[in-house]
Amino acid sequence: MKQLFSRTFWPLQLLIAAIAAAILGSGWLLQQWQQQQTMLQIQLLNNSASLLSIQPLQQKQPAALEITLHALQQHSALPIRAMAVFDQSQRMFASTSKAERWLEQAAQSLDSEQAAFSDAGAQLISTPIWADRALTAQSALNSVPAEHTEPNSLLPERHLVPAPAVSSRQLGYLLVLLDDAPTPALTVLSPLYLLLALAVWLVWLSIRQLTARQRAQLEQFSRQLSADNEASAGSADTDPSFKPLQAAWQEKKQQFRQQTEVLSQQFQTKLNQLESQLLLSQQTTSQLSAKQQQALSQLQVSSQQLDYWQQLAANAERQAPALLIRQLQLLALYTRLNDTDFMLQPDALFLPDWMLLCYTDYLQDSDSRYQFLFEEDPQAYAFKVNLDPKLLAHLLGLLATMCRRLATEPEIIVSYRLIELPHKMLKVNIKFVGRSFPARWRQVLATGVDKMLPDDLEAEVSRCILQQLQAQLHIASIDDVGTQLEISMPVSWQKTNTTKRFQSILLVDEKECRLPLAKQGLAALGEQVHCCQTYAQLNETLQRRLVDLLVLVLPDQPAQLCIPIAELNALQQRFQVQAFANPAAVVRWQALLSCPISAMPLLIAQLSTPQPQALALQQLLVVDDNLTNLSYVRAVLALEGLSIDIAMTGDEAIKMATHHRYQLILMDIQLPDLPGTEVTKQIRQLRHHQQTVILAFTAHALPDEIASFRLAGMDDVLIKPLDTQKIAHILGRIKALDTQKIAHILGRIKALDQS
C-alpha cells in the first residue's frame, strides 16, 4: 500500500495536501464569521434588554422586569447564565437566576480596576441604562483588563460598555453573565465532512487498485496452473529415474495451489471488510449531512425568533397587554412546533364535536361585530375521524383571526366536509366578504420568509401547523367580492352505526342567510328537517307536521317576537324544545322562557346529547270502548302529568295516531268497528309509529291468540282488569322514566286505592 501511494499517486498526494489546507482555511474563516455573529447577537441582546428595562426602572416594577429577563434568557440563542438589572445605588433591581452574589459583586466593581470572582469560563457584560433610550445604540464592547487574563484567574472575561458623551440621566446597569460558548458544531463538522468524503474517495481508489492487482495475479496463477497441468499430462512416459522428482514437483504444486486458495479467501475477506467500511462511511456521511441540515434549520428558526423578539421589544410600549400576551403565546407555540421532538396527538372523534371545541376555545371572541355561521356536513355523525383536534382548531382560529381583519361584512362562514375520492381527505373552508389576502401573508403561508415582521407571526405559525398536519392551503379571493380559504388534509376514519336521534325536526329562524346552513347541519340529527321563516306560521306548521324536536332561533329583543311568549311556553308542554339566542340576549330570554336556551351560533353538537323528556311529553293513547276502564287508566296515569289521549273506536284511533306521535298505545282487542289487531296493523304502517310500544288489552288470551297479537305487531299483552302491577308494567315501557320514578307513581296509586 505504501509503494502504491508513493510511486503511483504522488501527484495526487500533493493535490490532497492542497485541498486539506483549503478545507482547514475555510473552517477557520467560518469560525471567525460565527464569532462575529455571536458578537452581533450580544449587542442585540444588550440593546433589547436595556430598552425593555427603562419603563420598569422608572415605574419601580421589578416583577414585570424579571418576567421580561426570563423570557429573553429562555429564547436567546446565547448561553446566558444569568441576567440582572441594578438601580442607580447599585442595588439589584431584578434578576433571572440564583447568581445574586456574582452579580452584586460585579455591580460594586463597575468603576474599579479589578474585582474578584469565584468562577471561571464565563464572560461578564455590563451595560448602562440611560433615561434617553436612543443613546443606548451607541454602546460598544470593551475587552477585559489585562490583570484578569491570566490562565489561573477566577474572574470571568468582562466587557464594559462606555457611557455616551452626551449628558443623560443614568437609571442603572444591566449585567449579563455568559458561559463560554462551545465551538459551533458547524465550524468543526463542515471541514470534517469534506475530509471524510476525501478519505472515502481515497479508500475507494485503493480498493479499486488492489482489486485490479489481485485479479492480474489470479490470472497469472491460472495460466501457470494450466501450463503445469499440460506438463503433467505430457510426462506420463517419463523415465522411472525421474519419478521421485516428479512426485516432489506435484507435492509443491499442490501446496502452491492451497496457498493460492488461502490467499484468495483472505483477499475476499479483506475486500468484504473494505466494502463494509465504505458502506458505513457513506451512512455516517448521510447522517452527518442530515444533522447539518437540521442544525441549519434550527439556526434559521432561532435567528427568526431573535429578530421577532427585537421587534416585539421595540413595540412593547405601544401594544395592549392582551395583544402582547397573545403574541408571547404564539411565539411559544412556534418554538414548540419547530422542536425536533414535537409529535402530533391524534384522537378519534366526530367532526361536530371538534367544531364545538374549536368555536368554544379558539373562535369565540368578544368582538360582536362579526358572527360565525357554520355549514356542517349532514354525514358528520356517520364517521369518526382520526386527527389532532387541538392543533387543527388552533390553525382554524389563526386563519379566522386573519380573516376578521379583512372582512367588511359581519358574517364569516365556516364549513367542513369529508372527501373519499381520490383519497380520504378533510376539507375545511372559511368564506367572507372583504379585502383580499395581502401578498405578504400569501408568501409567508406558502414558503415562509427569512425575516419576520410583527404582522407575520400568525401566518408563520399557521404555515408550521400546515406542515405538521401535512395539509395544504388554497386561497381564492377577489377584492370586495369574497375570499375563500380551503384547508385540505389527509385523514383516516371509521364508519359508525350511529342512527339519527329524531325522525322530524322543525327549525324556526327569521334570518334567511342562516336558515339553509342550519337546515343542512340538522340533517345529521333528523330524518326530516322542516323550516319555518316566521313565528306567525309556527302554530299552523305544527298542526300539519309531526315534530320530535323544535329548534327556535330567537330574535335579539323579546318585543320583536310576533306571537305571545305564553304560546312558546305552552309548546314546552307538548314538544321537546331547544332555543338559541345571541349571547347578549340569552339572559333576557331565560327570564321569560322555561325551555333551555343556548348562545348562538347553532351547532349540531349542542343537540346531539340526549336529554330526558319531561313527563308531559310522554303521550299515551288508550283505545277502549269501556268508559270505566278509560276513566281509571286516565286517572291513575295523569297523576304525574302524563299526557293521555282516548279513542273509543278503531277509526278514531287510526286518525289520532296519524296526526300525533305516541310513546305507548294500549289497544283493546274487541272494538265496535274494527278488531284491535287490524287497527294495530294500520298504525304500524305509519312511519312514526314503527317503534312505538303497543300493548294488547283484553279479557282473555289463549296461546294461539297471543301469537296472533304479536303477528299483528303488538309488543305484549295485558289481561283485564287493570291493577297496580299492570300499571307498573305500562310505566316500565316508558323509556324516559327510571325505576325510582315508577316506584313513586305506584306508591301514590296504592294510596289512592286504599283511600
pLDDT tens per residue across span 87-101: 888 788 888 865 566
Question: What is the average pLDDT across 479-503?
Answer: 87
* Residue 352 pLDDT grade (very low, low, confident, very high; cuts 50, 70, 90): very high
* Residue 163 pLDDT grade (very low, low, confident, very high; cuts 50, 70, 90): very low
DSSP secondary structure code for residue 248 in this structure: H
Question: What is the average pLDDT across 363-371?
Answer: 75
Show Cβ contacts of residue 247 under 8 Å, excluding neighbours closer than 6 positions.
none
* pTM for this prediction: 0.54
Highest mean pLDDT among 17-21, 493-497, 546-550: 493-497
The CATH number that domain 615-754 falls under is 3.40.50.2300
Give the model confidence (pLDDT) of 66-86 as tens digits. Answer: 888 888 878 787 888 788 888
- Asked, colleague to colleague, whether 341-495 and 502-608 share their fold, the answer is no
Closest to 42 in 3D by CA, of 70, 65, 76, 75: 76
Question: What is the average pLDDT across 158-163?
Answer: 43
pLDDT at 113 over 50: no
The SS3 of residue 574 is coil
pLDDT at 245 over 50: yes
The SS3 of residue 180 is coil
* Residue 134 pLDDT grade (very low, low, confident, very high; cuts 50, 70, 90): very low
Percentage of the chain modeled with pLDDT above 70: 78
* 3-class SS string, 438-450: CHHHHHHHHCCCC
pLDDT at 44 over 90: no
Highest mean pLDDT among 121-130, 209-218, 703-712: 703-712
* Residue 191 pLDDT grade (very low, low, confident, very high; cuts 50, 70, 90): low
pLDDT at 142 over 70: no
Look at 53-57, 145-149, 412-416, 727-731 and tell me which has the smallest mean pLDDT: 145-149
Give the model confidence (pLDDT) of 494-527 as tens digits. Answer: 998 888 888 789 999 988 888 899 999 999 888 8
With 0-12 CB in 10 A as exposed, 13-18 as middle and 19+ as buried, what is 709?
buried
pLDDT at 9 over 80: no
Give the model confidence (pLDDT) of 643-694 as tens digits. Answer: 788 899 999 999 988 888 888 888 988 899 999 999 999 998 887 788 788 8
* Residue 3 pLDDT grade (very low, low, confident, very high; cuts 50, 70, 90): very low
pLDDT at 551 over 80: yes
Question: What is the average pLDDT across 738-743?
Answer: 47
- Are 75 and 303 in contact by the 8 Å Cβ rule? The answer is no
pLDDT at 185 over 90: no
Q: Where are the alpha helices (DSSP H) in 235-350?
A: 243-314, 321-337
The CATH number that domain 502-608 falls under is 3.40.50.2300
Question: In this structure, which long-range contacts are made by residues 579-587, counting pairs with CB atoms below 8 Å and at least 24 apart in sequence?
Answer: 579/551, 579/552, 579/553, 579/554, 580/551, 580/552, 580/553, 580/554, 581/553, 581/554, 581/556, 582/556, 583/368, 584/368, 584/556, 585/554, 585/555, 585/556, 585/557
pLDDT at 752 over 50: no
Task: Report the pLDDT value the prediction gives residue 10, as an integer from 0 to 100.
Answer: 56
Task: Report the pLDDT value the prediction gives residue 326, as an integer from 0 to 100.
Answer: 82
Look at 412-426, 478-492, 686-700 and tell me which has the smallest mean pLDDT: 686-700
Q: Where are the alpha helices (DSSP H) in 493-549?
A: 515-522, 538-544
* Residue 615 pLDDT grade (very low, low, confident, very high; cuts 50, 70, 90): very low
Task: Report the pLDDT value the prediction gives residue 24, as an integer from 0 to 100.
Answer: 74
Task: Report the pLDDT value the prediction gives residue 144, as an integer from 0 to 100.
Answer: 37
Task: Report the pLDDT value the prediction gives residue 66, as an integer from 0 to 100.
Answer: 83
Q: Where are the domains of the chain?
A: 185-221+250-310, 341-495, 502-608, 615-754
Phi, psi angles (nearest 5°) of residue 715: -90, -30
Give the model confidence (pLDDT) of 573-610 as tens digits. Answer: 777 889 999 888 888 998 888 888 888 899 998 887 65
Architecture of domain 341-495: 2-Layer Sandwich (3.30)
Could you tell me the CA-to-CA distances from 447 to 215, 391, 444, 462, 463 in Å, in that order? Answer: 55, 20, 6, 11, 8
pLDDT at 744 over 60: no
Give the model confidence (pLDDT) of 251-300 as tens digits. Answer: 888 888 888 888 888 888 888 988 888 898 888 888 888 888 877 777 77
pLDDT at 114 over 50: no
The SS3 of residue 35 is helix
